[in-house]
Structure 1
Amino acid sequence: MDILVPQTYLLGLIALLAIVAVVVGRQLLRVRRDELSLIRLEQDGAASSRNAGQLYELASVQLRKRLYPQATANLRQALKRLSGEPDEARALVENALGFSLAAQKDFQAAVKHYKSALQAKADYPVALNNLAFAQERLLQPEEAAELYRRCLSLEPNNGTAKKRLKRIEQRLSRKPESGNSPEAANGKGF
């Protein structure tokens, strides 16, 4: 019995190390793939000769690498070159541009692009989630809650929308009504 404890410990340690090695290896492969994609896309030609799809692909890699200013510039160029593309393509590019701007804390501009994405494709749950988040950041929780509800009507199992909506509803239910708080009644309100 005394021999089983160290063996169990060693087997557990080996299993844990194997799991960590797999996770780290997958992450390294993902980073390497993104690096190779970025190099390939940057070498494929001058920005003036790229079409909207190539610019979107380049910007997607840049977003994953958190190169937000470069991604924003490429997505703006992609929008200019979207002539003749389906509305779904416009929605994808507008949503990605909104995401890039939101990552740079420009939520006003992000809202504009998320709304454009929804004009191109009204039933786009990702854009609805992103727009709702931007509205939250702009301190408009009622609008954000309505957008999350709309997203859940399209995609009932959307975990992000469920979680964010629950959080907003809890905050709104705790928020005292103006004029009904004890501080306002006593004249001690802000």
Structure 2
Amino acid sequence: MKTIDCRNMACPLPVVTVKRSLEEAPGEALQVLLDNGAPRENVTRYAANRGLVVTETALEEGVALVITGEATASRDGGGTAIGPTVMLIASDRMGDGPEELGRLLMKNFIITLLELDRLPDRVLFVNSGVLLTTDGSDVVEVLETLVNRGVEVFSCGICLDYFNRRNKLLAGAVTNMFTIAESLLTAGSVVRV
């Protein structure tokens, strides 16, 4: 049985590390060392949603989870929608708390998209969300990787002009409000971040 130590890892790295390890050796038992709290809960939920069995043992520092069984498709919702999945990102940060935390959450959210089995078909950036697609953003390379995987990435032209960033666009392409509205109205599902 392989053991991986995910203690002291920032979110979402414990789940991402477990996901990769399970994919490398499907059906083999995996022991994961984790901090208590959110890391333990997130990894347990991830495994359970895939039909895996999780056995927990308390440690002096943290917890050891042993994950066994054959993974199935995620039970987190995987329903099939008619039409594309469109993601609308309307800010360069996530949530209403402190700005620094909001920016960190948004960065981690976008990075985590690369680890998902199902990607959105199109990601639309509006308002200050366009700052994520331009020079100086921490997620430009991630967005370029998404584009290379077939995800359409578009930034609102009016928004780029407002922030004087049109000539600094590095990921995806410029679009207009007609395309944004049409994309949202014809989508099978819309995810607003």
- Normalised to the residue count of structure 1, the TM-score between the two structures is 0.29
Select the structure of larger CA radius of gyration.
1
Higher helix share: 1
- Normalised to the residue count of structure 2, the TM-score between the two structures is 0.29
